[in-house]
Amino acid sequence: MARLPMWLPPSEREMRFFFDVDARRAVDLGFRARPFAETIDAIVQWADVDRMRKEPRHGLSTSRENELLAALVR
């Protein structure tokens, strides 16, 4: 499984339909997807800031994330 929580590599065959869900019924019932920035704000308000300053339990380590970000700006 990938180390990025919301990214699934093509090799994960059993998860290939994970993001292909038709949301029409939810939208018809009043679901509203929030803008990305609003979602992040809600997460930050909800999150325990002290816990988030520590190394994440899931996803990339801070050092690996920094490596990848540095590679993007080269």
**Would you give per-residue pLDDT tens digits along the chain (74 residues)?**
445 556 667 777 777 777 788 889 999 999 998 888 898 888 878 876 666 667 666 778 888 888 988 988 87
Residue 2: both structure tokens together: 């990938």
Tokens linked to 68: 């990848």
pTM over 0.85: no
Three-class SS of 1-55: CCCCCCCCCCCCHHHCCCCCCCCHHHHHCCCCCCCHHHHHHHHHHHCCHHHHHCC
The domain limits of the chain are: 13-72
Rounded CA separation 51/44 (Å): 12
